[in-house]
Structure 1
């Protein structure tokens, strides 16, 4: 059974810029820049029929391309930080694409996502990182903001059941209209 999710790829130039932040935090397991992405909808382990139905429903999405930008770094987990990430600036285009991915998942019989959606690009998984060290790291790297980048497609990724961070394989790509 493939483990599937849909995502927006991060442009190489932006991934290289983000990779410069990969130092100075004990307990961080840094994600390879080739695996940076913005998840739209996590599907999980599904059978072949569900994967086929989901892929077909994704192919029916007809939305325009849009611009995104990253703004700032943060962490998930509060007193027990578990991930370091780049925040995504609010975007109507992104929200429309996320909702369309949710509809495609429902059409394929995938249960609703139980968590609230928070658009982000994971930079590191944290194990044993002290909350004060994470706070110092976030203060030290400053406030990061990217230039806008065009989102002209989204992809369906598969991954192996692992701790996270890839490797990811593009199973299908879905262009957005110009």
Structure 2
């Protein structure tokens, strides 16, 4: 059974810039830059028939390209830190796209996502890093300047059942805005509008 989720890809130049943040945090497992993404809707382990229904439902999404802004760094913690991430500005366009996909999944009788959607790019999983370690790392990288880029498609991804972090496989692609054929992958994503 495939483990599926929808997401937005990160342009290679932006991924390279984010990868420069790697290191300096004890007990962190850094995500490989080719696996950076923004999750829209985690779907989970499903059978092939449901995977086909999901792919078909997503093909009917009609939205314009979306501008993505990375606005800083943060950490997810529940008493103990478990991930370091780059914040993604929750623009109305991004949040509406995510909400539409949530509605589509519920129409297919999948369980609703219980967690509040917080758009982000996971940079590292914290295995044994302490709150103090993470606070120190965030303080040392407090000068992170946001990056902006435009995404012109979203994707249906699959992953191995593991602790997360990839590798991920693109199962289907869904263009945003007008169709463009025969375009290189980074052209779908758009170039970063500014640097850090």
Q: Same fold (TM over 0.5)?
A: yes
Note if contact 1:50-1:109 (Cα within 8 Å) is conserved in structure 2: no
TM-score by length of 2: 0.88
Is there any run of 5+ residues in structure 2 with no aligned partner, and where? 179-196
Note if contact 1:57-1:107 (Cα within 8 Å) is conserved in structure 2: no
> What is residue 72 of structure 1 aligned with on the other side?
72
* SS of residue in 2 equivalent to 1:162: coil
Is there any run of 5+ residues in structure 1 with no aligned partner, and where? none
* SS of residue in 2 equivalent to 1:174: strand
Note if contact 2:30-2:125 (Cα within 8 Å) is conserved in structure 1: yes
Worse overlay, 18-27 or 108-117: 108-117
> What is residue 156 of structure 2 aligned with on the other side?
156
Distance in 2 (alpha carbons) for counterparts of 1:64 and 1:131: 40
Worse overlay, 8-17 or 98-107: 98-107
Give RMSD over aligned pairs: 1.1
> What is residue 54 of structure 2 aligned with on the other side?
54
How much has 1:63 moved relative to structure 2? 0.8
How much has 1:78 moved relative to structure 2? 4.9
Distance in 1 (alpha carbons) for counterparts of 2:153 and 2:128: 37
Distance in 1 (alpha carbons) for counterparts of 2:143 and 2:58: 35
Alignment: residue pair count: 178
> What is residue 170 of structure 2 aligned with on the other side?
170
> 1:87-102 maps to which residues of 2 (within 5 A)?
87-102=87-102
Distance in 1 (alpha carbons) for counterparts of 2:75 and 2:85: 6
Worse overlay, 85-94 or 34-43: 85-94
> 1:117-156 maps to which residues of 2 (within 5 A)?
117-156=117-156
TM-score by length of 1: 0.96
Note if contact 2:90-2:118 (Cα within 8 Å) is conserved in structure 1: no
CA deviation string 1:100-159 (max 9, x = no partner): 111221222211011111111000000111111110100001232333201110000001
* SS of residue in 2 equivalent to 1:82: strand
